[in-house]
Structure 1
Amino acid sequence: MNIITLTAEHAEAYRELRLEALLDNPDAFITTYEQEKQQPNPINSTAENLDSKDTSTVGLFNKERLVGVATLTQEKHPKFAHKGSILALYVTSSFRNQGVAELLIQKVIEGAKDLEIEVLHIAVVTNNTPAIQLYEKIGFQVYGTEHRAIKLKDRYLDEYWMELFI
């Protein structure tokens, strides 16, 4: 397995995995599968996002197949530039419980250190016990709960806000 920073050339593989993520784990993402499918020029916009200077996305490949991703963003305002967030973490189901998510997060942490980020934030729905346990294993701690953070058709989801000082 190989972890690399994704670029525009990985847009099709990323898009395929993103659609899978939205179908398989809809509660874990704000964007819905339907919204993502309706995006005009999806490969072009995905390529632009992967080449953006505002984010960095790492991906883990098993042979030629992209099986996991995680995105790092850094706050832009100078007084907040010491903070970053991990977004869009996803590992395909057949590669879960094999340490892939932890490897991706560790790679993001390395990238954050290179950017002189001092604290990383991540949000996770409160009923996603495996993700919470993973983040706690890495050293993240809950610093707040946002009640009714996500509104679905028939219910709300709460989110924990977690932080890691690096």
Structure 2
Amino acid sequence: MTSTVDRPILFLDVDGPLIPFGSSEGRLRAAVPDSPTSFDHGNPLLDRLDPGVGPRLLTLGCPLVWATTWLEDANEAVAPRLGLPTLPVVEWPDSGADDVPRGLHWKTRPLVEWSDGRPFIWVDDEIGATDRVWVAAQHPGASLLHRVDPTKGLVDADFSALAAWLDAVGAG
């Protein structure tokens, strides 16, 4: 059996994949924690979280890592609503956009560095062709850069694609 330490890392963005930008009608309202923090109190976007996504992410068996500008706030406001534990957070470098090659997402290089050669999945709504080419050339391990439709967030087809990739790389 493959341990979680050997499984690919799953880098997870919040806005778009977990908080869709489309209509929140028809989405389940997340359970509100017993003692809301001042950060999340009254944030209407958090009502767009689907509490069923957390268990589905955990079922993938990958170590989850926040790859979001929410930083530690994702652990305080998002994780409890999804039933996720406190997760590690990628700390973004202070360098400016001038350091990023044209067309490359500003998260791409830090995620490859953070993975340190380990296989990874990156779930985000802003992944492009340049990111895929750059990662293929710069990252020695297997990787899946999975773009989520930001109007829908993570849906069944996304989870199927993630599980299929994990099976294909022998981590399933």
Normalization by structure 1: what TM-score?
Answer: 0.30
Which structure's relative contact order is higher, taking Cα pairs within 8 Å and 6+ residues apart? 2
TM-score (ref. length: structure 2) = 0.29
Higher helix share: 1
